[in-house]
Amino acid sequence: MKFETKAIHLGHEVDPLTGAIAAPLHLSTTFEREADGSYPRGHIYSRLSNPNRDALERSLAGLENGEGAIAFASGLAAITNVFQALLPGDHVIASQDLYHGTTHILQDIFEPWGLEVSFIDVTDTSQLEGAIQPNTKMIFLETPSNPLLKITDIAAVADIAHKAGALCVCDNTWATPLLQRPLDLGADIVVHSTTKYFGGHSDVLGGATISKVKDAFFDRMRMLQQIGGAVPAPFDCWLVLRGIQTLSCRMKNQSESAFAIAKFLQKHPHVEKVYYPGLVDHPGHDIVLKQMSQFGGMLSFQIKGNKEEALAFTGRLKIIRRATSLGGVESLIEHRASIEGPNSKTPDNLLRFSVGLENLDDLLTDLDTALTHK
């Protein structure tokens, strides 16, 4: 099946009891045993499994071409699970330009816990090879990166990881499997904040890990999910699964609009710099052409001026909302440095823009009016 067909049908079987086309919602926290103590219908307790969560996990695994998926209550819970499945004393190489929440998890939770972490520019393969240690167990990357949209060659990083006996893990939240499939490029595990493009409507929190194979590491992640209990509620799974059905339509539209907006901003006299991998002068453009089918619905740009001028610009916008998050039907913009805190390396005049489904001309007019003070 093609992606669009998978998105509609995986995890959306007709209800055998009622014939319902839309998936029923299973709110029960506990499930009946047989008289002999067995659970032939597959469920014991909702921390361990739930029909709605099972359906979502089947869909996510199929979309990423993985053997298994594990759903969580948030994207950060999913990322925490990946690192928690390692052992104290293991070494992780992580990209310098990661979502700041991932960096906080590594620095504030797992380094004190005993994980060794090296933050490097993983786009530089020679630097990456030089960072490998005997105890390196994982290379964690994010491409396109957040918020500077750096592009990493997934296949090259996966090759380096495997030669070192390490796992290659890729955060694929920004691209989604519609535009990029890291497992097909050699990665071992993909992580997602399903809050974003999968949910698609800014109304549900969730995360997931998808593994290329169901091996011992996958089993350990599953055990940590079930025992740790950072699982999504049945209705959250239901909402994400419903959002997946329209992912293809939304993402294609958002990618087309983002490309047009990036080209518009690149020529605007009040814009200093635009970060978008679809632009031919983007340093990762050639790699993107190899590993992505479109360039995505996210971009960042620097206003000509300082932090105050960047914030003032967002205050003049009428359609585009000032809010954290991305991937929803509405366009959102935010000043990243103030979100990331005092240690942020993001330029003070940079704004991250999640392009929604509004009319493109309306978005361009909103941007132009706010930039030129009309």
Nearest to 73 by CA among 213, 256, 254, 204: 204
Give me 96's structure tokens: 């310098």
Q: Pairing mode, if any, of strands 68-72 and 189-192? A: unpaired
| Cα angle value 166/170/172 (rounded, 5°) | 170
Let me know if 196 is a catalytic residue.
yes
Q: Are 74 and 206 in contact (CB under 8 A)?
A: yes
Nearest to 296 by CA among 200, 128, 177, 174: 174
Let me know if 108 is a catalytic residue.
no
- Residue among 196, 212, 242, 336 flagged as catalytic: 196
- Residue among 99, 197, 275, 276 flagged as catalytic: 99
Provide the 8-state DSSP code for 351. E
Q: Are 131 and 122 in contact (CB under 8 A)?
A: no
- Residue among 97, 153, 171, 188 flagged as catalytic: 171
Give me 48's structure tokens: 């361990």
Let me know if 36 is a catalytic residue.
no
Q: Which helix (H) or strand (E) holds 130?
A: helix 125-131
- Residue among 47, 58, 304, 321 flagged as catalytic: 47
Let me know if 39 is a catalytic residue.
no
Residues acting as catalytic residues: 47, 99, 171, 196
